[in-house]
Chains A and B, each alone.
Chain A
C-alpha cells in the first residue's frame, strides 16, 4: 500500500510536465499549426525558471518567467511560419535546436548551483499525511495541469472563441472568408503553446530535480508532441495518454529497483509498453471509419489568403 502510494506520487511528477506541454501543443495544432519546437521551448522555459528561482527563490515568479520565455521563443516560430509562411516542420525543428543551444549558453554559468524545490500547495498537515499526500502532496503545477485539461476542453467545445479556433484549424479559407483573422488566432494559439511548454520546462528544476543541466528535458518535448496525435487532439484522452506514459516510465524504474511481484515483469517490456500502446491506439482510431483520425484538416499548412 505504502509503495503503491509512493509510486503514484512519482508517476504524477513524471507525467505533469509532459501533460502541460502536450496541452499547449494540442491547442496549437487545433488551430492548424504544427510546432515541433516543444522540446526547445521547454528547455528555454527550464533555464528561465531556474535562473529566476536561483536569484529570487520565488517559484511562482519562476514559473511565470518560464512561461514568458517559452512564449517569447514561440513568437520566433510564429513570425517565421505565420507572417512569413515558412515551412512549419523545418521551423519547428530549428526552434528545438535553437532552444537546446540557447539554454546551454544561458545556463553555462549556473552549473553546480542547486535551487530549492517548490513547496506543496496545501498545508503541511495534509501535504505530508501518510495517505492524503497522494491527493494534497503536490505543488501548484500539478493541480494547474488538471484544471487546464478541463479548461481547454471547455474552451474548445463550449465557447465561441473555441469554435473559431477550431474553424481556423479545420478550414482556414472559410474562416477567413467570414471575417476571422486566421493569422491572429494562430498567433494567439502559438503563444499559448509556447507559454505552456515554457511552464512545463520550468517544472524540471522546480519539481523534479532542483538543478540546471543541459538538455535536462531529455526528449520529453517529443513525447508531448507524439501524445497529441495519440490522444487524437482531445484533452481528456491527452490526460490519459500523459499518465499512461508517466506510469510506464516510472514503473520501469520501480520494477528494476524492486523485488517482489513487480520485478517479475521484464524491464524491456515496460520500456516497450508506451510504444505498443501507441500502436494499438492508432490502429483502433484508424479502424473507426466515422471519426477517421480527427486531425485538424489544415494542420501544418501555411495560410495564404485566396484573394
Chain B
C-alpha cells in the first residue's frame, strides 16, 4: 500500500503522543511491519524498481506475517530523516534505507529507536541497530565485459556513469578488466552525466559516444535510454542495468545485470521475526543470487555465451575473482601484484581506473 506523506505526519503525531516504552530489543514477533524508502520512483525500470520487487518478494513469501509500507522519491538529505522517523513511529520493526545518500540520516535517527532494526544499502556507517547490505554488482559487470570484449568490432565501448563514486568506478574497472582478458586492446571512456535519472541526457551521451566510434554501450544510471539509442543506431549492443530491459531493445540487449534483493530482505525479515536479527554487513553477489544475469540476447553467439557462462560460474564457485592481480592502473603503475586479490575494503574505496580506461574529462 502507498501512504501519502501527509498521512505519515498524522500517524507520526499520534505515535509521538505515546510514551516510548523500554528497550526490549529484538524480541520474537508474531507479525512484522517493514518500511522501505526509495530515492527514486518504483517505476524507473531499474534500481528502485528492483528494490521494490524485493519488497513484493518478502510479502509473497511471508504472507500474513508481514506488512510493508514504502515511500518513494525521497530526496537524499534532511527530508530522509523525517521520513525515517515517521516510518519508525508508525510501528515498523525493520526499515530499509535503499540508497547510499540516506546514510547520514540513518545514523542520526536509528539511535532514537533502539528497538527497531535499520538496514542501509550500499553504505559504510553501521551501529548497534544499523546493518549494512550491498550487492556485488561488479560480478555482473565482469560478465558484461567478457561479452563486450568478444563482440566489439572497434574495441571501444562507451560507459555512461552517474557520479564517480567507488561503486561506479568499481563497475567500470570490472567491465574493462574482463573485456581486456579477451581483447587486450580494449578501451573505454567513461562519461559522467551528474544525475541518476535524465533520460534525454543519457540518450545524448550515448549518441555522443556512438558518433565517436564506440560500438557497445554500458551504463550505470537508472534507465534504459542508452540502450534504446544503441538500438536506434544499430550498434553491436548494450546491457540492461538493475533490471531486464529487453522490452526496450529486444535485439540490442546482450544481457542484463538484475538486482535481486528479495532473498536478502526475506532473510532479514525472518531474523527480526525470530528475534535473532543482529546488525550485519553483507555483500552478496551471483553466488547468493542477489545479483542475477538476464538472458543472453539473440545476437550473442554460442562461444561467447560459453565464455560469459564460464566467468559467471567461476564467480559463483569462487574460482574466479575479477580483481585478482596483476592489475595496472591507467597510468601504467602496478596497483595489485600478481596473484593477489583486492580486499573488500579496497574495492569499496576504489578511486582509480585500471589500464584501458581513458581518464574521464
The interface of chain A, by Cβ under 8 A from chain B, is 3, 6-7, 10, 13-14, 104, 107-108, 111-114, 117, 204, 208-211, 213-218, 220, 249-250, 253-259, 263, 266-267
Q: How far is the CA of A211 from the CA of B224 in the complex (A)?
A: 8
B197 sits at the interface (CB 8 A): yes
B residues near A213, Cβ cutoff 8 Å: 44-45, 197, 199, 223, 225
Whether A114 contacts B228 in the complex (CB less than 8 A), given A209-B203, A253-B191, A256-B208, comes out as: yes
Whether A218 contacts B200 in the complex (CB less than 8 A), given A211-B248, A253-B193, comes out as: yes
A residues near B232, Cβ cutoff 8 Å: 117
* B212→A257 contact, CB < 8 A: yes
19 further contact pairs, Cβ within 8 A, besides A10-B211, A211-B228, A216-B198? A7-B208, A10-B204, A14-B204, A107-B43, A113-B247, A114-B224, A114-B248, A209-B199, A209-B225, A211-B223, A215-B197, A217-B200, A249-B201, A253-B191, A256-B360, A257-B189, A259-B212, A259-B358, A266-B361
B residues near A209, Cβ cutoff 8 Å: 199-200, 202-203, 225, 228-229
Interface centre among A113, A216, A217, A249 (most CB of B within 10 A): A216
Whether A214 contacts B41 in the complex (CB less than 8 A), given A114-B248, A253-B193, A256-B192, comes out as: yes
B117 sits at the interface (CB 8 A): no
B195 sits at the interface (CB 8 A): yes
* B43→A214 contact, CB < 8 A: yes
Whether A210 contacts B228 in the complex (CB less than 8 A), given A256-B360, A256-B361, A267-B361, comes out as: yes
B residues near A6, Cβ cutoff 8 Å: 207, 211
B residues near A113, Cβ cutoff 8 Å: 247
Binary interface profile of B, 264-279, with partner A (CB < 8 Å = 1, else 0)?
Answer: 0000000000000000
The interface of chain B, by Cβ under 8 A from chain A, is 40-41, 43-45, 49, 73, 158, 189, 191-193, 195, 197-205, 207-209, 211-212, 214, 223-225, 228-229, 232, 247-249, 358, 360-361
27 contacts between A and B (CB under 8 A): A3-B212, A10-B208, A104-B43, A111-B49, A113-B247, A114-B228, A204-B199, A208-B199, A208-B200, A208-B203, A209-B203, A214-B73, A216-B199, A216-B200, A218-B198, A220-B200, A253-B191, A253-B201, A256-B191, A256-B192, A256-B205, A256-B360, A256-B361, A257-B189, A257-B191, A257-B205, A258-B189
Closest-by-CB residue of B relative to A4 is B211
- Which of the residues B40, B73, B208 comes within 8 Å of A257, measured between beta carbons? B208
* A112→B208 contact, CB < 8 A: no
- Which of the residues A112, A117, A254, A255 comes within 8 Å of B247, measured between beta carbons? A112
Q: How far is the CA of A104 from the CA of B205 in the complex (A)?
A: 25
B residues near A249, Cβ cutoff 8 Å: 201, 204
Whether A13 contacts B204 in the complex (CB less than 8 A), given A113-B247, A211-B248, A257-B191, comes out as: yes
- Which of the residues A210, A258, A259 comes within 8 Å of B208, measured between beta carbons? A258
Whether A254 contacts B199 in the complex (CB less than 8 A), given A114-B247, A213-B44, comes out as: no
A residues near B358, Cβ cutoff 8 Å: 259
B284 to chain A, nearest CB (A): 26
Closest 6 interchain pairs by CB? A111-B43, A218-B198, A6-B211, A253-B208, A257-B209, A267-B361
Closest-by-CB residue of B relative to A6 is B211
- Which of the residues A14, A258, A267 comes within 8 Å of B200, measured between beta carbons? A14
Whether A10 contacts B248 in the complex (CB less than 8 A), given A108-B43, A111-B45, A255-B361, comes out as: no
Q: How far is the CA of A254 from the CA of B248 in the complex (A)?
A: 24
Q: How far is the CA of A108 from the CA of B201 in the complex (A)?
A: 22
B residues near A215, Cβ cutoff 8 Å: 197
Whether A112 contacts B211 in the complex (CB less than 8 A), given A10-B204, A211-B199, A249-B204, comes out as: no
Closest-by-CB residue of A relative to B202 is A209
- Which of the residues A214, A218, A263 comes within 8 Å of B361, measured between beta carbons? A263
B residues near A257, Cβ cutoff 8 Å: 158, 189, 191, 205, 208-209, 212, 214
Interface centre among A6, A14, A250, A253 (most CB of B within 10 A): A253
Closest-by-CB residue of B relative to A2 is B211
A residues near B203, Cβ cutoff 8 Å: 208-209
B40 to chain A, nearest CB (A): 8
B residues near A208, Cβ cutoff 8 Å: 199-200, 203-204
A residues near B214, Cβ cutoff 8 Å: 257
B227 to chain A, nearest CB (A): 10
Q: How far is the CA of A258 from the CA of B358 in the complex (A)?
A: 10
Q: How far is the CA of A196 from the CA of B182 in the complex (A)?
A: 51
A residues near B208, Cβ cutoff 8 Å: 7, 10, 250, 253-254, 256-258
Q: How far is the CA of A160 from the CA of B225 in the complex (A)?
A: 46
B residues near A256, Cβ cutoff 8 Å: 189, 191-192, 205, 208, 360-361
B214 to chain A, nearest CB (A): 8
Closest-by-CB residue of A relative to B189 is A257
A residues near B191, Cβ cutoff 8 Å: 253, 256-257
B residues near A114, Cβ cutoff 8 Å: 224, 228, 247-249
Q: How far is the CA of A126 from the CA of B299 in the complex (A)?
A: 31
* A254→B195 contact, CB < 8 A: no
* B228→A214 contact, CB < 8 A: no
A residues near B199, Cβ cutoff 8 Å: 204, 208-209, 211, 213, 216, 218
